[in-house]
Amino acid sequence: MSTPRGVTGNILTSATEGAANTVNAPFGHALVRAAEKNPRIVGLTADLGKYTDIHVFAEKFPTRFFQMGMAEQSLVGCACGLARTGFVPFATTYAVFATRRAYDFIAIGAALGRANVKIIAGLPGLITGYGGTHQGIEDLALMRSVPNLTVIDPCDATEVAQATTAIAEHDGPVYMRLLRGQVPVVLDEKTYRFEIGRARLLLDGADVAIISTGLMTGRALDAARDLAAANIRAAVLHVSTLKPFDADAVASLLARVPRVVTAENHVVTGGLGSAVADCAVANGLPVRLRKVGIPDCFCESGSLPFLARHYKMTAPDIAAAAHDILK
């Protein structure tokens, strides 16, 4: 008898299904809390309200919510117009649609004039099994290269909530990746403080530095625990703001710990790994670096555990990269 095979699940099947500790719709609820304080906050979506958790806001503030239909250029352009009349629009869709279909509207409409628009992008990277059409694998590279834009990839429910509060208070265009539905908790909300542009050292260690972003930070922490069992002390620096990039924090870690593994839920070209490499070169730091992330390809469809293993994105893959670099 053959081994049971995984199957592609619902489009929204969580990448971390089965996690013990989760929070439901952290973005939607944090947005409601922000909107209770600030009446200028409005919400928009392009036919993906419940798929991006903004339905929580829409139910609470129906007159401040605008359904734009399946039209992402109109979604972003309209958000820019709302910003120009003094509102703080949060516009949600999937990362693939925001960045591939509405790039010019983000770049020219929002970023060029620093319009106070927040683009919230669902299904980042390998968080859906629906293949190249739905997996936003290169969005960070695109968004990181747009001047004036702030780019955030939160790692868990705690950070999604805190980052939502922070960007609501921040004056300027933001692109934030979204974790939605039942989102695992990795960071302790009592001790963790998200700040735009600040990387956080979650774990210190002198043997190898793991620099991670987005949901890969949870796997980086798991990898660090595995490495500790093998007597390898790993530091984990979580870089949730890709832009502005916390070059000081990264450079000071690289200066101390020159063997580096980067981990990102994104192609390894133009994302976190590239930013870390740029930072090392700019600071004249001789480092050995391995990038864990999606290779230069469109990914297959499939179950999420299968995809994570197939593209070497698991915690053991991060630990293996660390072992490799320490050889």
Give least dist CB 68 to another protein, A. 6
Name the helix (H) or strand (E) containing 110. none
Tokens coding 54: 């903004």
Told to check if 80 binds another protein by CB under 8 A, we report yes
- Give yes or no for residue 146 binding another protein (CB under 8 A): no
Question: Among 16-24, 73-81, 245-253, 305-313, which window interacts with another protein (CB under 8 A)?
Answer: 73-81
Distance CA 76, CA 92 (A): 9
For residue 194, the surrounding DSSP H or E stretch is none
CA distances to 166, 178, 198 from 53, in Å: 18, 9, 26
Cα–Cα distance measured from residue 93 to residue 91, given in angstroms and rounded to the nearest whole number? 7
* 244 binds another protein per the rule CB under 8 A: no
**Site membership for another protein, residue 6 (CB under 8 A):** no
b/e for 178-214, b at 16 or more Cβ within 10 A? bbbbbbbbbbeeeebebebbebbebbebebbbbbbbb
Q: Which is nearer to another protein, 2 or 85 (CB)?
A: 85
103 near another protein, judged by CB under 8 A: no
Among 2, 3, 21, 63, binds another protein (CB under 8 A): 63
> Measured from the CB atom, is 74 or 165 closer to another protein?
74
In whole angstroms, how close is the CB of 86 to another protein at the nearest point?
7
> What are the start-end ranges of the H helices in the chain?
26-37, 55-60, 72-84, 95-96, 103-104, 139-144, 157-169, 216-229, 247-256, 272-282, 304-310, 315-326
Interatomic CA distance for residues 35 and 165, integer angstroms: 9
Q: State yes or no: residue 161 binds another protein (CB under 8 A).
A: no
Give the one residue of 13, 74, 283, 301 binding another protein; rule: CB under 8 A.
Answer: 74
Q: Minimal distance in Å, beta carbon 82 to another protein? A: 4
* Of residues 173 and 205, the one with the C-beta less far from another protein: 173
Rule CB under 8 A: say whether 120 interacts with another protein: no
Our CB check for another protein shows the closer of 114 and 233 to be 114
CA 225/CA 67 separation, integer angstroms: 45
d(CA 112, CA 198): 23
Closer residue to another protein in complex, CB, 87/311 = 87
Q: Is 112 in the site for another protein (CB under 8 A)?
A: yes
Q: Which residues contact another protein (rule: CB under 8 A)?
A: 42, 63-64, 66, 68-69, 71, 73-74, 76-87, 89, 104-105, 108-109, 112-113
